[in-house]
C-alpha cells in the first residue's frame, strides 16, 4: 500500500492517507518506531504492526490519564487493565513502561496514600496499614510508609479526636471515656497512645 501523505491532527495524532483512500490515525511514536517517514509503501506485516502499536499507545494514554487523577498502586493498575480485557502480554508491557517512566511506583504510592489518609481522614496507623495491604504492596514498603508518621503527629491527632468527642457527647465519666477509647482503637490507633492522651482530660 502506497503512502500518499501524512497530516498532523489537533489532538496530537497523525493521519496517514494510503493510495486506496484508507486513512490510519496513529501517533508520532508509532511513526518513528516503524520508520514510516522513510517509507513510500507499507506491506501487510507493517500495517498489522501499526494497528497493534496504535492499540498499545491508546491504552498507555488511558493509563496516564488514570494516574493523573491520583497515584495508583501496581495492583490497582493491573486490575484496571484486566477490566479492559487486555491480554497479559499487553498488561505486562504497559506496566513495565509506566514503571520505567516513573509513573507507577508502589513506594511513592504508599507514602502518598499514608499521608492522605492520615491528613484527611480519622483513620489511625493500623487502619491505614490494613488498607495498604489490600493493594498487595510489599510488607517492607507498607511498614516504612506507615512508620513515617511521627509519634507527635499521632498523639496530636488523638488529642484532637478526643477533644471533639468530649465537647460534643452527652455522655460523661467512665462511659464516655470507654466509648472514646473503643472508637479510637477501631480507627487504628495504638492502645497505649490513646490511654496516654485520655489522661489529659477530665471525665
CATH 1.20.1260.10 fits 3-100, yes or no: no
Helix (H, G, I), strand (E, B) or coil at 25: strand
**Residue 31: predicted pLDDT:** 87
Tell me the mean pLDDT in the region 43-69.
Answer: 93
- Upper half-sphere CA count for residue 130 (Cβ side, 13 Å): 9
| All structural domains of the chain with their residue ranges | 3-100, 151-198
- Contact 75/82 with Cβ under 8 angstroms? no
Q: Per residue in 118-159, pLDDT tens?
A: 999 999 999 999 999 999 999 999 999 999 999 999 999 999
Neighbours of 132 (CB within 10 A): 23
In this model, does residue 73 exceed pLDDT 80?
yes
In this model, does residue 26 exceed pLDDT 80?
yes
**Residue 36: predicted pLDDT:** 82
Closest CA to 187 of 199, 179, 196: 179
* Residue 2 per-residue DSSP state: B
**Position 11 confidence tier, pLDDT thresholds 50, 70, 90:** confident
Q: Per residue in 157-196, pLDDT tens?
A: 999 999 999 998 888 889 999 999 999 999 999 999 999 9
Phi, psi dihedral angles at 24 (to 5 degrees): -120, 120
* Residue 121 per-residue DSSP state: S
Residues whose CB is less than 8 angstroms from the CB of residue 160 and which lie 6 or more positions away in sequence, other chains included = none
Which pTM value belongs to this model? 0.83
In this model, does residue 19 exceed pLDDT 90?
no
**Residue 6: predicted pLDDT:** 84
Closest CA to 70 of 100, 103, 40, 22: 103
Q: Per residue in 41-55, pLDDT tens?
A: 888 898 899 999 999
Residues whose CB is less than 8 angstroms from the CB of residue 149 and which lie 6 or more positions away in sequence, other chains included = 114, 118, 125
Query: What is the distance between the alpha carbons of residues 38 and 31, in angstroms, rounded to a whole number?
Result: 10
Closest CA to 63 of 103, 31, 102, 112: 103
**Residue 39: predicted pLDDT:** 73
Tell me the mean pLDDT in the region 4-23.
Answer: 85
Query: What is the distance between the alpha carbons of residues 66 and 196, in angstroms, rounded to a whole number?
Result: 42
H-assigned helices in the chain? 28-33, 44-69, 74-83, 88-100, 106-120, 125-133, 139-147, 151-168, 173-187, 191-198
Provide the grid cell at 203. Answer: 471525665
**Residue 170: predicted pLDDT:** 81
Amino acid at each position: 500500500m502506497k503512502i500518499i501523505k501524512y497530516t498532523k491532527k489537533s489532538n496530537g495524532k497523525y493521519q496517514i492517507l494510503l493510495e486506496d483512500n484508507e486513512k490510519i490515525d496513529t501517533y508520532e511514536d508509532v511513526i518513528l518506531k516503524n520508520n514510516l517517514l522513510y517509507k513510500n509503501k507499507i506491506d501487510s506485516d507493517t500495517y498489522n504492526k501499526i494497528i497493534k502499536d496504535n492499540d498499545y499507545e491508546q491504552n498507555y494514554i488511558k493509563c496516564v490519564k488514570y494516574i493523573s487523577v491520583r497515584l495508583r498502586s501496581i495492583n490497582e493498575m493491573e486490575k484496571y487493565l484486566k477490566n479492559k480485557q487486555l491480554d497479559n502480554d499487553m498488561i505486562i508491557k504497559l506496566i513495565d513502561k509506566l514503571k520505567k517512566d516513573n509513573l507507577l511506583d508502589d513506594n511513592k504510592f504508599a507514602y502518598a496514600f499514608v499521608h492522605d489518609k492520615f491528613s484527611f481522614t480519622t483513620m489511625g496507623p493500623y487502619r491505614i496499614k490494613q488498607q495498604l495491604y489490600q493493594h498487595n504492596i510489599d510488607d517492607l514498603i507498607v511498614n516504612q510508609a506507615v512508620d513515617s508518621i511521627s509519634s507527635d503527629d499521632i498523639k496530636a491527632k488523638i488529642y484532637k479526636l478526643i477533644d471533639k468527642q468530649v465537647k460534643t457527647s452527652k455522655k460523661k465519666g467512665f462511659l464516655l471515656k470507654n466509648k472514646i477509647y473503643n472508637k479510637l482503637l477501631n480507627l487504628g490507633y495504638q492502645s497505649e497512645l490513646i490511654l496516654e492522651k485520655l489522661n489529659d482530660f477530665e471525665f
